[in-house]
Amino acid sequence: MDEQIIRAEYSDIMQKSYIDYAMSVIIARALPDVRDGLKPVQRRTLYDMYELGIRYDRPYRKCARIVGDTMGKYHPHGDSSIYEALVVMAQEFKKGIALVDGHGNFGSIEGDGAAAMRYTEARLQRITQEAFLADLDKDVVDFGPNFDETEKEPLVLPVKIPNLLVNGADGIAVGMVTSIPTHNLGEVIDGVKAMIKNNQITLEELMTYIKGPDFPTGGIVVNQSELAEIYRTGQGKIRLRGKVETETIKGGRERLVITEIPYTMIGANIGKFLNDVAGLVEARKTTDIVDISNQSSKEGIRIVLELRKGADTEQLKNLLYKKTRLEDTFGVNMLAVADGRPETLGLRQILEYHIDFLFEVTTRKYQNLLGKEEHKKEIQEGLIRACDVIDLIIEILRGSRSREQVKECLVNGVTEGIRFKSERSRKRAEKLRFTEVQANAILDMRLYKLIGLEIEVLQKEHEETLANIANYTDILNNYGSMAKVIIKELDSYKKAFGRPRRTTLENAGEVILEEKKMEEMAVVFLMDRFGYVRTVEEQVYERNREAADSENRFVLRCLNTDKVCVFTDNGKMHLLRVSDVPHGKFRDKGTPLDNLCNYDSSAENFAAVYPLNDIRDTVLTFVTAQGMLKQVQGLEFDVAKRTTAATKLLEGDRVLEIHAAAENAHIVLATEEGYFLRFPVSEIPFKKKGAVGVRGIKLGPKDSVKQVYWLEGDRSPEVLYKEKKVYINKLRIGSRDTRGTKTRG
């Protein structure tokens, strides 16, 4: 066979492949369908449970069985995605209405994960069975082949409620994200009914029924006036607050009790909230909180903040709303798959798509029912007619040699080959004109059906069938009749599964937090060699001066309103507010610097620490192990970032020392191989903090700067090199970028 080489542009192939991949993720994985509000994995899991017969009134089945069956038949994308979807559908704190009834550990609102699927069990909820999966046997939705074309699966479930709004949705696709809040079932049903009755209803009128989101965690929506615009465009931000109550306890003290949290606080964010509150206390943002405890249980959220007597509860509430996630934002982007493509939808559009789907499903249901009733009518009419000529039919049966011969006589009046008792019977038989369906029914009829009472029952059933046909025909031919059927069904769901609204809607202004101005005071900043920091009062330091100086690597006098610059050997500077450093007794251990700023003790070491106020108007001299030098104006380190690059380093180099030297000072560089070079600091050029600097000393191939000494004022250090005393102040003054003097040890 001749090979054909197809030439194509590589960029075109990549573009097409990526678009195909993106659309597959968008349509087949990440986004819900506007009609049933389900992602494919959710739809397939629920359908598989329905197929397995795991109904709400039957025993639970192992989740591992459900996950394995779903993966093998419908969703070949790994068991973890299926089980995660199953777990979320069972978590009442995440969904407006749980679709799965879970038995076992399905996680908690505080972020605890569900147990492994081999331990947990599940079954369908009643609402799922009645409102999501009912009528699948009535050809109400289209079915398509599964991934290997060995099974059929529904392309959409015949969901009778607007599940996209009731349970919301979240998902990340390629280049797009969906985030739809949950709503109250009763309100949404009322909105659907209102729109069915008046399809010209305005958004404002619709919002008298659907007032806003209703989150399973309750809470307060504080920007109610912005909801109309969010529902119009399908995008926006909802501001949520937790619900805080004040309780009075013995001794006249009060405590704040958080009984509802913002939906966005579900999971690990509850733990983060507790840490943030503890941080506010440690940072002395408030002194009103004595203790905090999480007393939440299956009955609901209960986070208790014990307060000191006379605490300002309103100010404290504002502090919590402003400084923690007790007030948070829920980003709304109502993106769903509509008509096979992703589309951002407003509230009216979502309801329009759902109502169209409701009418389509109801039409197909009653067309199916009508077809069955007409089939029954045909059979019943045939049997009733057969009862009137039953003697003739028996004569035909006795005179025939085969079932086909009898059937041909009943349908077409063919009498050839049939023995009759009389010619009159033959002529009567030639006039028979039953349909094929009726003929089969007559041949399958049992003799007991000829009893008089059975004939009366048959006639009564026929009357009911005629009534059903008339009713179904009316429903199919009249919009009003079909609307009544749909509304009646919606009312039954509201009555059976509706619940009161949990989330409160209101318009509240921005939280105004009157922060008390910190009283400025002089403190002493202490950092030991392990990186633990704390501040103490000056008087405390003076009383323990000798111990403080010997036990700590850095001792700095500063103000509590100041900032501290922590320079590290990898060329970074971390900015630390003194007010964030724990203030206490002299013997307190302190807090690791890692917990207060971006310093990483496993990757960097201290080079120098200075109060920002002390270096703003000074010059800092940088010295590295490879002998690179520069002078930098201290004002350059007055930055907003908590971490910034203090200098640029050559590969393999590190900062050795940073010193605020006097203008007339001399610097002495001592190397590992015993070279000492002394020269004036004035020879070191000024550079920006992002520069590498200039070479201070010529080093041998394996040599490096070991120590830096400063000759300024009365300072005249004496050092030992290989047990030989070196007088730094007697060294010959040289020039920068020379080799220096070799000292013999």
Q: Is 119 a catalytic residue?
A: yes
Distant-in-sequence, close-in-space partners of 423: CB < 8 Å, separation ≥ 6: none
Does the pLDDT of residue 720 top 60, yes or no?
yes
Domain 38-158 has CATH 3.90.199.10: yes
Of the candidate CATH numbers 3.40.50.300, 2.120.10.90, 3.40.50.720, 3.40.630.20, the domain formed by 522-742 belongs to 2.120.10.90
Residue 302 pLDDT: 93
Q: What is the mean pLDDT of the chain?
A: 89
- Give me 321's structure tokens: 């709303």
**21, 119, 479, 727: which one is catalytic?**
119
Q: Of all residues in the chain, what percent carry a pLDDT higher than 90? A: 58
How many other C-beta atoms lie within 10 A of the C-beta of residue 361? 22
pLDDT class for 18, splitting at 50, 70, 90? low
pLDDT class for 453, splitting at 50, 70, 90? low
Residue 16 pLDDT: 65
Give the whole-angstrom CA distance, residue 147 versus residue 131. Answer: 27
pTM for the predicted model, two decimal places: 0.72
Does the pLDDT of residue 37 top 90, yes or no?
yes
Domain assignments of the chain as residue spans, ordered by start: 38-158, 243-325, 522-742
| Cα→Cα distances 205→97, 194, 237, 494, Å | 25, 9, 22, 20
| Selection from 521, 532, 528, 530 nearest residue 548 by Cα | 528
Q: In this structure, are strands 504-505 and 220-221 parallel, antiparallel, or unpaired?
A: parallel
For 243-325, CATH number? 3.30.1360.40
Does the pLDDT of residue 25 top 60, yes or no?
no
| Cα→Cα distances 228→182, 207, 225, 705, Å | 16, 8, 7, 69
pLDDT class for 2, splitting at 50, 70, 90? low
| Selection from 501, 439, 449, 22 nearest residue 219 by Cα | 501
Is residue 511 within 8 A of residue 240, CB to CB? The reply is: no
pLDDT tens profile 197-248 = 999 999 999 999 999 999 999 999 999 999 999 999 999 999 999 999 998 8
Is residue 442 within 8 A of residue 434, CB to CB? The reply is: yes
pLDDT tens profile 550-590 = 999 999 999 988 999 999 999 999 999 898 888 878 888 88
Give the whole-angstrom CA distance, residue 189 versus residue 187. Answer: 5
- Give me 268's structure tokens: 């690990």
